[in-house]
Chains A and B, each alone.
Chain A
């Protein structure tokens, strides 16, 4: 089921009653989520991603705009008539019910013609449990299970009524690091097996990048960029997106364009013939640096070297750098001498992005 958001806006009245102006949680969200894809809504906390999810779910009504599932306008439909399943950040498993009762709960709500027989419910619950591989835990209570198992039960409960869309709110945030890796693969597998459209919310860019077919980066209620994870990473539209994606984060410099060339401090880094003269904000990905003792264009003061096996992280400083220390990721075999005071880098042009220092908009060259 494809989901279409048409200029969806959500405003809340301000908590502080003295301020008349509404809080805009989501502003003019316009996007078509293709059928059968896994979409990650990504952004810092308070950026409106959860509100967007709640509006798709039907728990919140948009102030303006329409929401379509396929061709059907569902804007005014309550959640139960939309055919959505939702997995909550807290899982919201009913603690007094066993796993079986929890999974069956949505089915037991059906009344009238949709009413299911006991055998049918049992069969569907078993099927959902098998999909998330918890068949052997059916008679346990949520309190007797680990976080990862609870997560699976929550997914099974959301999937048991065979929704057309599955929504997940921060699905991995309550899990430890190892389980997180495992569970995100699991979510990917379930999505592939069921072919269902999945939308999940996260503030963790690793999570979003690793399993999503597409990511939507949001900030302050406004969509910043939509695209395939690699495309968004390689070609950010603005400084916020560039900074938000990638670990370690992108290195930001205050640069200057003069006579068709980019300067950091006094050093000429790149030829940027199509960019007009003036100050620019420069972002260079950590993997955009190469050590070059002779021909390196960027000379930095070496702070320290952190070997991480295959890669080495070079921590250095440069006058034009914004912040404390820049970080370059290089091949461990080419790491510089630890005792040297200086390190010279060659820069890969494809990893350098220029931004307008005022608006943060990307300047292409």
Chain B
């Protein structure tokens, strides 16, 4: 038995080494960085230990802006994208003709490069001296004034960001939900039909509980993904997100490390740990709620 145990550890060794170097060591390193005060990147020296880095980050207006942006993004995009994906999946599931075609179309954004999508969104939304962009053209038809979505007011930029995020995350959700819907035993629906169950009641009392584990999975991963948003914002507004006022927490961490004002791994670590704490809290809350609403058969 003892010998077998040693063998097992031996087999696990390669992955443990890599996990240790690239996952566990950095994790502890981040924690250490975050409490080293006055860390100097060039000389690799610091004054002492304390919580100054956290209080600095929490008072930094750029971080607060990033925090606000991230929270708005999460609160807006997760429910809307999940709800829309559910709606589209249910519709997809109820048609027979052209279903494969629509499924392919809805999945296309998933295989498209983020930056390419960003370029398309720029074309749609960006206002230049020569053109107001496609969306503004449509707005104009309805008698609404041109809005600069990329460099204009905060709400317009937020709208584009949310729109973009929702569009990017939907395909995966639709994929998961259509397969979840298809896996519900049709006998349940037949039984409900024999009992004269109204359609809405079938949906809320049978379909939703049946696919609730998948919805829950999508909500959790959706929350985590949205909290970690960064590349989508870069695709839309370029790398100087602080100037655009559209930075996210991950963006703030990046800027603190490598940005123009960068070179502060301690602040970056503190911000990263704050993000970790937020995601952990939200996920725990999600898990608590799910105990009552999600049924695993």
Interface centre among B193, B201, B210 (most CB of A within 10 A): B193
A146 CB–B CB distance under 8 Å: no
Q: Is the CB of A96 within 8 A of B188?
A: no
Q: How far is the CA of A86 from the CA of B198 in the complex (A)?
A: 17
Residues of A within 8 Å of B205, CB to CB, are 94, 105
Q: Is the CB of B195 within 8 A of A92?
A: no
Q: Is the CB of A90 within 8 A of B193?
A: no
A86 in complex: contacting residue of B191, B206, B295, CB < 8 Å:
B191
B190 CB–A CB distance under 8 Å: yes
Q: How far is the CA of A111 from the CA of B195 in the complex (A)?
A: 12
Min Cβ gap A295→B in Å is 58
Interface centre among B193, B195, B210, B212 (most CB of A within 10 A): B195
Question: For chain B, which range describes its interface: under 10, 10 to 19, 20 to 34, or 35 or more residues?
Answer: 10 to 19
Q: Mark A95-130, 1 if CB is under 8 A from B, else 0.
A: 110000000011001110000000000000000000
B297 CB–A CB distance under 8 Å: yes
Q: Is the CB of A88 within 8 A of B187?
A: yes
Residues of B within 8 Å of A109, CB to CB, are 195-198, 201
A256 CB–B CB distance under 8 Å: no
Min Cβ gap B181→A in Å is 16
Please provide the chain A residues from 64 to 79 with a CB less than 8 Å away from any CB of chain B in the complex: 78-79
| Minimum CB distance partner of A84 in chain B | B194
Q: Is the CB of A92 within 8 A of B188?
A: yes
Q: How far is the CA of A79 from the CA of B210 in the complex (A)?
A: 23
Q: How far is the CA of A84 from the CA of B210 in the complex (A)?
A: 25
Q: How far is the CA of A157 from the CA of B187 in the complex (A)?
A: 14
Q: Is the CB of A85 within 8 A of B201?
A: no
| Minimum CB distance partner of B208 in chain A | A96
Knowing A95-B297, A96-B209, A96-B295, say if A105 contacts B195 (CB, 8 Å): yes
Q: How far is the CA of A177 from the CA of B289 in the complex (A)?
A: 43
A55 CB–B CB distance under 8 Å: no
Q: How far is the CA of A278 from the CA of B212 in the complex (A)?
A: 69
Q: Is the CB of A78 within 8 A of B193?
A: yes
Q: How far is the CA of A92 from the CA of B202 in the complex (A)?
A: 14
Residues of B within 8 Å of A90, CB to CB, are 185, 187
Q: Is the CB of B190 within 8 A of A59?
A: yes
Q: Is the CB of A92 within 8 A of B197?
A: no
| Minimum CB distance partner of B193 in chain A | A79
Residues of A within 8 Å of B295, CB to CB, are 95-96
Residues of B within 8 Å of A161, CB to CB, are 195
Min Cβ gap B297→A in Å is 4
Q: How far is the CA of A59 from the CA of B195 in the complex (A)?
A: 11
Q: How far is the CA of A95 from the CA of B187 in the complex (A)?
A: 12
Residues of A within 8 Å of B212, CB to CB, are 96
Residues of B within 8 Å of A81, CB to CB, are 196
Min Cβ gap A136→B in Å is 23
Residues of B within 8 Å of A157, CB to CB, are 191
Q: How far is the CA of A78 from the CA of B195 in the complex (A)?
A: 10
Q: How far is the CA of A161 from the CA of B191 in the complex (A)?
A: 13
Residues of B within 8 Å of A260, CB to CB, are none
Q: How far is the CA of A59 from the CA of B198 in the complex (A)?
A: 15
Q: Is the CB of B194 within 8 A of A79?
A: yes
Residues of A within 8 Å of B190, CB to CB, are 59, 86, 88, 92
A57 CB–B CB distance under 8 Å: yes
Q: Is the CB of B206 within 8 A of A79?
A: no
Please provide the chain A residues from 129 to 173 with a CB less than 8 Å away from any CB of chain B in the complex: 143, 157-158, 161
B: residues with CB less than 8 A from A are 185, 187-188, 190-191, 193-198, 201, 205-206, 209-210, 212, 295, 297
| 17 sampled A-B residue pairs with Cβ under 8 A | A59-B194, A80-B194, A80-B196, A85-B194, A92-B187, A94-B188, A94-B205, A94-B206, A95-B295, A95-B297, A96-B210, A96-B212, A96-B295, A96-B297, A105-B195, A106-B196, A161-B195
